[in-house]
Amino acid sequence: MKIENTTVKGVFIEYARSESSPSAEPIVFVHGGGQGSWVWENYLPFFAATGRDCYAFSWYNHHRSHELPDEQFAARSMAETVEELEIVVDHIGQVPVLVTHSMGALVGQKYAEKHPVVAEVHITPAICAEVGLHPERELDLSKPIEVGSFEDEWPRVLAGCSEEDARRYYALLSRESALAIQETISTSFSVDRTRIGGPSLVIAAENDIVVPAEAIRRSAAYFGSDYLFLPGRTHNVLLEPGWRETAQRIHTWLERQTW
C-alpha cells in the first residue's frame, strides 16, 4: 500500500488512503516523545486496509516538521503541541479516531477536551497529574533534551527490536522539549476527564520500563476506559515483533465501539 506525504503549515503528514471508499471514520495517529510519524509505519497500511483513511504526523522539531528556535522548543508544553494535531484534523475535515502512543496520549486527551473525537486508543500512555506516577523533578528548561546513546535508548524505547531495526529507528529519534519531558516525568500535566466524550481504550505492556502497567491501569480507571494488558510486551508496542496482533485487537475494539 502506498504511503504518501504532505506538509501543512509546517506539519509533516504521512497518510494511507483506504483502497476503496472509506467504510469508517479516519484515524489520526499521534506519536510520543522523541519520535515522529515514522513510528506508525506498520499501523498506517494495516488500518488503511480495514477501510479507514489513516494519517500520522510529526510534532514541530520532530521528523521533517518545522523547526522552532531551541529556546522556544525547550519551553514548549504538550498543551501547545495540540496545535499540530488541530492542523492535521482541520486538513482532513472530519472528526477522527485518535490512536496515540506514550506522551502522545496527553496531547490527544488535551485535544479531546476541546474537540469532538469518535474514539481514543492510548498505547502505553503517559500519565496525567490526576492519576500521578513520579515525584517532582526539575530539568533545565533552557535547552532541549538530547537523544541518549544507542545503548541507553535501545532497552528503554526500542526494546524488542533486533539490533538492526533498533539502529535504524534510533537514527530517526529527535530531541525533545525539556518542559514536555518534565511534565511527563513529574506528571504535572492536567487533563479534565469531564470534558472528554466518546469511548476509549488504554493499553499497557507488562515489561514497559517507561510507564508501568499498574499506573496505566489506574489511568484507565480514572478515565473510565477499557483496559488491555499485553503480557511480555514493552513500551515499544508499535515496532516490536507482535505489533500486528495488537493492531488487530485495536481494530476489533474499534469495530465494536464505533459505527
- Residue 123 belongs to what H/E stretch? strand 119-123
Percent of the chain with pLDDT over 90: 90
Residue 57 and residue 11 in contact, taking contact as beta carbons nearer than 8 Å: yes
From CA 28, how far away is CA 88, in angstroms rounded?
8
Q: Rounded to an integer, what distance in angstroms lies between the CA atom of residue 53 and that of residue 31?
A: 17
Name the residue with higher pLDDT: 135 or 17: 17
* pLDDT number for residue 257: 87
Q: What is the pLDDT of residue 21?
A: 87
Residue 51, pLDDT above cutoff 60: yes
- Interhelix angle 78-92/104-114, rounded to 10 degrees, is 70
User: For residue 107, what pLDDT is reported?
Assistant: 98
Give start and end residues of each alpha helix (H) in the chain.
Answer: 43-48, 70-74, 78-92, 104-114, 150-157, 163-170, 178-185, 213-223, 243-257
pLDDT tens, residue by residue, 188-221: 999 999 999 999 999 999 999 999 999 999 999 9
pLDDT over 60 (residue 259):
no
The pLDDT assigned to 42 comes to 97
Joined grid coordinates for residue 18: 483506504
Task: Tell me the Ramachandran region of residue 124: left when phi exceeds 0, alpha when psi lies from -120 to 50, beta otherwise.
Answer: left
User: What's the mean per-residue pLDDT of the chain?
Assistant: 95
With H, G, I as helix, E, B as strand and everything else as coil, classify residue 72.
helix
| pLDDT of 174 | 98
